[in-house]
Structure 1
């Protein structure tokens, strides 16, 4: 199953639409996860008939609303995927928000998809795949161009591809096999 990952759109709706279009029509994803900061931006792609998973950024007012889940844990094809804005606890977490690092250490997740840093990365740490799709801003002070990710999961494997928004080129990948 293919899942699209985007993060940190910060009001760059055209870039979000471009990423969603590429994910839906080039990569054939059926699910897109927006990993925070301006999660309301997903309203711009709701008409695409995709399942949308959204988590708020730690500085969004929604993050402090106990009725809104800050960290979403879902299972796809036997892989447990945590969708979160941060890869670790944050001072703005609510008391019941799980700690992504502890979930990984306890092997309660297979993949942690996060945003926040605006730095795209894909790595395996202690048997858990960690992925940050980067950001969707036209320019960013950290120097990385806008990007998104494709997460491919099945019962035995999780693989992620990091993709440059403008060129469509894959610039990094990482995968794990579950024994």
Structure 2
């Protein structure tokens, strides 16, 4: 299963618009937008799409909008969330990401919020952050998205808008 993930567009839609042809070319099985801003993902509605809101968005307090989604990606039990940590704006029924980690209830946490791209194994769980899609970011990282190939092995690429692969890692099931 091929999943394309992006996060933290913050209403700056030029970069998101610029990669629409690339999404069509890649033809992922699923496109994921991890919030900030929830409405920005409307540009992705022509693709198989899952999205969650950012922790400070008004959508985050709406019970009908899922703040966190747990799904199976080719055998990898995955959490889609804006923040990989519990947050004061979480609703009472939102799963606590770190509780899921402690209980070994997920294999993979795909999150945004920090704007820092990463793919790393911590305590038996793979954490993936695709980075951000803003024009500029005060943390010094260029706009990036992630491609995740989920099969027996998990292959993660974090890619700059120029097409340069910033990070590439593979993980095997625990």
Q: TM-score range by the shorter chain?
A: over 0.9
Which residue number in structure 1 is paired with residue 69 of structure 2?
72
d(CA) in 2 for partners of 1:87 and 1:19? 25
Unaligned runs of 5+ in 1: none
Q: Which moved more, 1:11-20 or 1:143-152?
A: 11-20
d(CA) in 1 for partners of 2:115 and 2:70? 22
Q: Which runs of 4+ in 1 moved over 4 A?
A: none
Which residue number in structure 2 is paired with residue 157 of structure 1?
153
Which residue number in structure 2 is paired with residue 121 of structure 1?
118
Which residue number in structure 2 is paired with residue 12 of structure 1?
12
**Matched residues, number:** 174
8 Å contact kept, 1:13–1:41: yes
Deviation per CA, 1:93-145, whole angstroms, max 9, x where unpaired? Answer: 01111111221221211110000011111101122110100101111111111
TM-score by length of 1: 0.92
Which residue number in structure 2 is paired with residue 3 of structure 1?
3
d(CA) in 1 for partners of 2:136 and 2:165? 19
Deviation per CA, 1:16-47, whole angstroms, max 9, x where unpaired? Answer: 1223432331x331211000111111112213
d(CA) in 1 for partners of 2:79 and 2:44? 22
RMSD of the alignment, in Å?
1.3
Which residue number in structure 2 is paired with residue 29 of structure 1?
28
TM-score by length of 2: 0.95
d(CA) in 2 for partners of 1:34 and 1:20? 13
